[in-house]
Amino acid sequence: MIGITSYGGYIPRLRLSRKSILQHVGWLLPGLAAMAQGERSICNWDEDSVTMAVAAARDCLIGTHKPSVDGLYLASTTLPFADRLNAGIIATALNLRHDIVSADFTSSLGASTSALLAGLATIKSGERKSLLVVASDKREAKAASNNEMLCGDGAASLLLGDQDVVAEFCGSYSVSYDFVDHYRGAQHQFDYNWEERWLREEGYARIIPEAIRGLLSKLGLSIDEIDKLVYPCIIRREHLGIARALGAGPGKVVDNLHEVCGETGTAHPLVMLVAALEQAKPGERIVVAGFGQGSDALLFQITDHVHKIAPRKGIAGALANKKSTDDYMKYLKFRDLILTETGIRAESPSQTALTSLWRNRKMIEGLVGGRCLKCGTAQFPKERFCVNPDCGAFDQYEDYEFADVPAMVKSFTADTLAISMDPPAIYGIVQFEGGGRFLADFTDCELDDVKVGLPVKMSFRKHASDKGRGFTGYFWKAVPEMSRAQAKT
């Protein structure tokens, strides 16, 4: 038996009210009023497709044996690097073994199901035993466009294998067409979209049903034998129409999450699938279909292991952990869609020394420090001498991962002069449980949220952007966990 052995998801904490978008740009395009319900998820200024993918993958790996993972496939149409293995950044951040296979799947919103099929084929071949599939997208949109209203940011991850399977893979069926409803040229920032009727009538209404019918015919099943249908559809009113065309009632259709986060692009089929798995019961059959230059339809059957999976935030937890905002201008600035003054301090050199990044990749991208083999003292960064004054061991360290170690705020300050996309810049000392501390930036918080002794979790984020050279640097930041602190009081 092969299939999904674990799952995880991530939706950014920030949510922008669609009414706020309408209030600011509705004068230019009054028709946006028809879409101005609910809210869409938006990345913080230090998030992108890579950081969201890391967050979803970490959620997926909870309760698993990480050293057994021997492959990672990343699907996205908004990768920060056109010529650098983005999946390799994620593998390093997760501290996976170096002898794994990794690959980027891109250029189509259907890349997530393509990566999923490739991963399942790899597991079935026996060449790999455990493979991580991650999908993530942060799609850019012009102000006052339909996509600005309809799209959202998010990521999802599935761990594939042949042991302790949560959802057994039963088969697939694919169709491939060069159907173009939108595109983005290699040198362009935004999608170019054709009219909605073309996408609705010739795209969604024809291609997704064809793939799902082909799957059911191939497996000798009827739509009545399917419990849940998962498929993306950016046109909200068309979503249930696809189910009707298949002869399925609305109760079988998994919510497309339009009201709470929007359509997360390449990630959306997997985001919806994770949401379905969170509610799934043993024996249920779930069909998931992607869409983009064709469609891949896959069937999974839920096993008894679904109740044994370790607790995680998943999509439900990420949606619950939110901060709603009406600040449309902040959204524009966070996505670098408006030009603002940054001050003379922003002119300092920002080039990343690639040699230094390579030599210190575990420390920088993996948050790996050291633990003394003699006395057990942990420290970050790893040094040759043990920092324990009662030990003094020399060159007796093992690698020690800090990313998942419980931590707390030791001290903090707010800096109104430092360069920040969301001033004031908040930073301070983070103390790890069991030893080890370092100076960290705080993110996903306001100054009033931070208090000495407050629990924090570490989050992989953008650290700096070298726009002149097109390089994004990443590091780990601290996120205050207000809910945990409240639970202790």
φ and ψ of 465, to 5 deg: -125, 120
**What is the predicted pLDDT for the residue at 464?**
87
275 is a domain residue? yes
98-150 residue pLDDT tens: 999 999 999 999 999 999 999 999 999 999 999 999 999 999 999 999 999 99
Give the DSSP letter string of 404-443: TS-EEEEEEEEESSS--SSSSEEEEEEEETTS-EEEEEB-
The alpha helices in 278-320, defined as continuous H runs, are 314-320
Q: Do residues 78 and 204 share a domain?
A: yes
What pTM value is reported for the model? 0.96
| pLDDT > 70? residue 66 | yes
Q: Among residues 319, 334, 349, which one ends one of the domains?
A: 334
241 — pLDDT class (breaks 50, 70, 90)? very high
179 is a domain residue? yes
Q: Among residues 334, 357, 387, which one ends one of the domains?
A: 334
Q: Do residues 431 and 305 share a domain?
A: no
Q: Could you list the residue range(s) of the whole structural domain that residue 410 is in?
A: 405-488
Q: Give CA–CA dist 53/73, Å, rounded.
A: 11
User: What's the mean pLDDT in 452-477?
Assistant: 95
Q: Do residues 323 and 462 share a domain?
A: no
Q: Do residues 269 and 418 share a domain?
A: no
| pLDDT > 50? residue 183 | yes
396 is a domain residue? no
452 — pLDDT class (breaks 50, 70, 90)? very high
| pLDDT > 60? residue 486 | no
Q: Do residues 24 and 123 share a domain?
A: yes
Q: Are the CB atoms for 122 and 128 separated by under 8 Å?
A: yes
Q: Do residues 103 and 234 share a domain?
A: yes
Share of the chain above pLDDT 90, in %: 91
| pLDDT > 90? residue 383 | no
| pLDDT > 50? residue 179 | yes
Residue 259 carries which side chain, given as an amino acid letter?
A: E
| pLDDT > 80? residue 48 | yes
CB within 8 Å of 86: residues ≥ 6 apart: 49, 50, 74, 76, 79, 80, 104
| Listed residue (160, 85, 153, 151) closest to 130, CA to CA | 160
Query: Within 10 Å of residue 206's Cβ, how many Cβ atoms?
Result: 17
Q: Give CA–CA dist 311/167, Å, rounded.
A: 17
- Mean pLDDT, the chain, rounded, equals 95
344 — pLDDT class (breaks 50, 70, 90)? confident
Give the DSSP letter string of 386-401: -S-TTT--BS-EEEEE
User: What's the mean pLDDT in 177-196?
Assistant: 95
3-state secondary structure of 380: coil
Q: Do residues 431 and 316 share a domain?
A: no
Q: Among residues 314, 334, 354, which one ends one of the domains?
A: 334
Q: Give CA–CA dist 445/169, Å, rounded.
A: 40
358 is a domain residue? no
**What is the predicted pLDDT for the residue at 292?**
97
484 — pLDDT class (breaks 50, 70, 90)? low
**What is the predicted pLDDT for the residue at 392?**
84
483 — pLDDT class (breaks 50, 70, 90)? low
152 is a domain residue? yes
Q: Are the CB atoms for 18 and 147 separated by under 8 Å?
A: no
343 — pLDDT class (breaks 50, 70, 90)? confident
Give me 306's structure tokens.
Answer: 């679904």
Share of the chain above pLDDT 70, in %: 99
CB within 8 Å of 303: residues ≥ 6 apart: 1, 3, 165, 166, 167, 168, 282
143 is a domain residue? yes
Number of domains in the chain: 2
341 is a domain residue? no
Q: Looking at 238-242, 303-307, 380-384, 440-444, which range is the least confident one?
A: 380-384
Class of residue 98 by CB neighbours under 10 A (exposed 0-12, middle 13-18, buried 19+): exposed
Q: Do residues 329 and 430 share a domain?
A: no
The alpha helices in 223-343, defined as continuous H runs, are 236-246, 268-277, 314-320, 328-334
Q: Which CATH number covers residue 296?
A: 3.40.47.10
266-319 residue pLDDT tens: 999 999 999 999 999 999 999 999 999 999 999 999 999 999 999 999 999 999
**What is the predicted pLDDT for the residue at 489?**
39
**What is the predicted pLDDT for the residue at 68?**
97
Q: Which CATH number covers residue 413?
A: 2.40.50
Q: Do residues 69 and 173 share a domain?
A: yes
69-101 residue pLDDT tens: 999 999 999 999 999 999 999 999 999 999 999
**What is the predicted pLDDT for the residue at 236?**
84
Which H/E stretch holds residue 360?
none
Give me 466's structure tokens.
Answer: 């070298």
Q: What is the CA radius of gyration of the chain?
A: 23
Between strands 407-415 and 378-379, the pairing is: unpaired
Instruction: Provide the b/e sequence for 415-436 (b: ≥16 CB within 10 Å).
Output: eeeeebbbeebbbbbbbbeebb
Q: Do residues 324 and 421 share a domain?
A: no
488 — pLDDT class (breaks 50, 70, 90)? very low
Give the DSSP letter string of 455-487: EEEEEEEEEEEETTTTEEEEEEEEEE-HHHHHH
250 is a domain residue? yes
| pLDDT > 90? residue 253 | yes
**What is the predicted pLDDT for the residue at 487?**
42
